[in-house]
Structure formats: C-alpha cells, structure tokens
Amino acid sequence: MAKSDRRIGYNGHMSKPYVTILGKLIRQLARLRGGSGSALPGLIIERIDPHFMERTLAPLPHGIVIISGTNGKTTTAKMVVELLEGQGLTVFTNRTGSNFTRGIVAALLADVDLRGRLQADIAVLELDEAHAVPFIAAVKPRYSLILNVLRDQLDRFGEIDYTTNLLRQVVEATTDTIVLNREDKRIADLAKVATAQQVVYFGLASSLLSTFPSDDELRGEPAEARAHVKADVTLEAFSHATAQFRLGTTEVSTQLQLTGIYNVYNAAAALALVRTIIGPTLDESKLLTTLSQITPAFGRGESFHVEGHPLELVLVKNPSGFRLGLQSFDPKKYATMIAINDNYADGRDMSWLWDVNFASLGAYGVAQVSGLRAYDMALRLQYDEVPIESVESDLNEALAAFIADHPDQPKRIYCTYTAMLALRRQLGKYTHVEAIG
C-alpha cells in the first residue's frame, strides 16, 4: 500500500481516514431510527478499527479517569465532570452511562471532529466492574475512583469477592492515583496492591458510620475494623440540603441540590478525586459553588413537573440503595409508585427485595406497583403490611393511571434501571424530559 493511501495513528496502528465519518453517519442513522446511538456505531467501529478508542484518548493532557464500584457511579461521574469543568477543564465523558467499550467509542464519535481529534483535557468514564476490565486492557487510566462493593446484580457478576477482584484489576492498571472509600474495608484493602501509585481516601466522620453500613453490616455480620488512615475528604455532617465536609484540614459547608443521602457521600468521593486531579491550583471557592449547583443524574432523584406537581424518579438496584432511598425521602404528602423489572440490566435475581424494610411506607401506602415483577413487589409489600392501591404490570398503563388518579399530589417513583428508562420515555408525553443519549 502506498504511503499516500494510509496514515499512521497512535502506537503505530494504521488509522483508516474514513472511520470517523462512517461512524458519525452510522450514529446519526441509528438516532433517526429511534435509538440512542450509543451501541451499534461503537460496535461497528470497534470491528473496523480496533484501536480507535485508545488512539483517540491517548493525547489527552490530563489522561483518563475511571469511576467504578457497585453503587453511585453515574451521579458521581456527573459531579466530577461538572466540578472539573468549573475549574476550567474541557471534559469528555460517556454521558449515556453506556459501560461497554463500544458505548465509549460511540460517545467519542459524537465528540471528535472529522479528522478523529478529541478536543478535551481529560476523560471521565463511568465503568462498572466487569466492563472496566476490557477497557483497561486497551487503555490505562491515569486516575481511578473506587466507590464501594455491594451485592448488586450477583447473577451478572458473581460473588462479592469476585467483584472486588475486578476492581483490584482497575487499581493495578491505574498509572498515577487511586481514590478509595476508606469506610468500605474491601475497597480500602485495595491499597495493598497499589505499588507505584499514590493512594487517596475519602471517608466519613465516626458519627455517620451507622448511616452508611458496609455490605457485611447490612447482612447482620459483625463489623470489621475500618481502615485507620487519614482521608483527604470526609463527610462530617448533613441535614436536608446542607452538607459539611473536611477538605484536608479545612472544614467547609455548602448547600446541595442533590437529593438522597447516598449522593451526599458520593459528593465526598467526587471532591477527593477533583482535588487530586487539579492539585495546588484548585480554586476551592469555585469548587464549592459548582458543587452547590449540581443536580441529580437522570433517574437518580431526577425531578419533573407533571400537571403542576413534581414527579421524582429514584433508581433502586439493591438493598442498600433502596434502603437509603426510603430513608432519604419522606413519603408524607407524596403518592408513591414502585416499578420493578428483571431485565439483564436490572439483574435477574430479585430476591434482594426481601432484604429491604418497607415499613416506612406503611402509614401512607403505595399507590401503584408496576413492572415485570410487579406481583413479586406487591407480595413483598404485603409482608410489611404496606397498603397497595393498584397493581399493573404494564408500565405505560401504570404511569398513566398513577398520574390520573393523583392529580393534586407530588409523586415519587422508585424504579429499577430498565423501568426508569421506560418511564422517562413515557414521561416525555407529559413534560420535557432531557435526552440522555
């Protein structure tokens, strides 16, 4: 092949000049056909040009950040992106939340120019434990943030020690700094495999430890000793919309628009990571101002206005998340709906619903139960003596009835992942719903 017929890309791999244009075209066609454009284009480009992702991400001056763990990735990644942007960086991220490498490739296709160049300073990527492994085989992150390890969708990823091992591989692949949850012993112990990497921790004041129990503590097992290491950022206290953090040796207080107590602890993780990335040039005043303005990620306490009243979506994936969700939101004056699916992305094994205490809903009841596992959920509520108004498996019909039957009330829906996506699509018939892909 003549030299004029090819150009040499990153790491000596041949880059085909038509790849980016073809990928953008496929992505646009997928979106026109009603898809999100977050899977098919990436799959095709991966096959045509296997090194597209690593070549495109390699030149970023601040490198790549991986955010992983079983709970809180999407909201934490959103916080990190907005905090870094508040410090003046241009950030690439997989905004659709697609965890596969092909999803990242598709997201890159949306952002690169026609020559395949990405105009960004840093990449912040949300990756779950299993999908992070093929990514790090191709691209090494400069920073990684490991949030937690909980029994989440175990029919997909196996036992908790297996999940921890996947996260260990992310830590080992990180080239610069690892940010770890001091209060999760399995996560804190990952520091032992860090060799040349710097390790930074985020954590909790001792008075808050019982609010955020470990996976073992959730199951009634004796609490193991937590790591006695200094955290760069600790959550000291919170109440309603105000949180207090210790940043290094300085204690600060800020208002938050984030809902859910789990998101407040995620904010501590995001702060620790951003402080690490920016370093001594960090503008702390801008950091706190930006944090106070961040709203929840889609479906994670996201609020819409439907017929003059708020309607909130709260994503639930496992006992810890559901428990903290119920603890975060007062059911008084709200009409409540629960939508449970068991598609692959939700996890097939829904037995975890029996590890959640629903007694807090007893005084006010549940207006609507829906989803593929609606009757399983209804049975679980009956055991906790929670009154139920209606059970309707079809999500579209259930949502329509829920809105029509409670016209003068604010509303809240607890939902699994695929139920949340379906409900967001249906809510678009009632109000503006921001696109996620």
**Domain boundaries of the chain, sorted by first residue:** 56-213+224-293, 300-427
Q: How confident is the model at residue 195 (pLDDT cuts 50, 70, 90)?
A: confident
Name the percent of the chain in helix, strand, coil, to the closest 5: 45, 20, 35
155: three-class secondary structure by DSSP? helix
Answering whether pTM is above 0.85, one says no
What totals of helices (H) and strands (E) does the chain contain, helices first?
16, 17
The CATH homologous superfamily to which domain 56-213+224-293 belongs is: Mur-like, catalytic domain (3.40.1190.10)
Counting residues of the chain whose pLDDT is more than 90, the rounded percentage is 56
What is residue 259's predicted lDDT score, i.e. its pLDDT? 77
| Residues 88-136 pLDDT 10s | 999 999 876 566 787 888 888 888 887 778 999 999 999 988 889 989 9
What is residue 152's predicted lDDT score, i.e. its pLDDT? 54
Flag whether pLDDT at 346 surpasses 90: no
Phi, psi of 315 (to 5 degrees): -75, 135
Q: How confident is the model at residue 4 (pLDDT cuts 50, 70, 90)?
A: very low
For 104, what's the count of Cα atoms within 13 Å in the CB-facing half-sphere? 30
| Residues 246-303 pLDDT 10s | 999 999 999 998 877 888 999 999 999 999 999 999 999 999 999 999 988 776 778 8
Q: 56-213+224-293 and 300-427 share one CATH topology?
A: no
- 3-state SS string for 88-154: CCCEEECCCCCCCHHHHHHHHHHHCCCCCCCCCCEEEEECCHHHHHHHHHHCCCCEEEECCCCCCCH
What is residue 200's predicted lDDT score, i.e. its pLDDT? 97
| Alpha carbons 177 and 273: distance in angstroms, whole number | 9
Q: Select the CATH number that applies to the domain covering 300-427 from these four: 3.90.190.20, 3.30.300.30, 3.30.230.10, 3.80.10.10.
A: 3.90.190.20
- Which one is predicted more confidently, 215 or 87? 87
| Alpha carbons 371 and 394: distance in angstroms, whole number | 6
| Alpha carbons 183 and 180: distance in angstroms, whole number | 9
| Residues 359-404 pLDDT 10s | 999 999 999 999 999 999 999 999 999 999 999 999 999 999 999 9
| Residues 61-97 pLDDT 10s | 999 999 999 888 889 999 999 999 999 999 999 876 5
Place of tokens 């009154």: 387
- In our burial notation (b when 16+ CB lie closer than 10 A, e otherwise), range 35-73 reads ebbbbbbbbbbbeebebbbbbbbbebebbbbbbbbbbbb
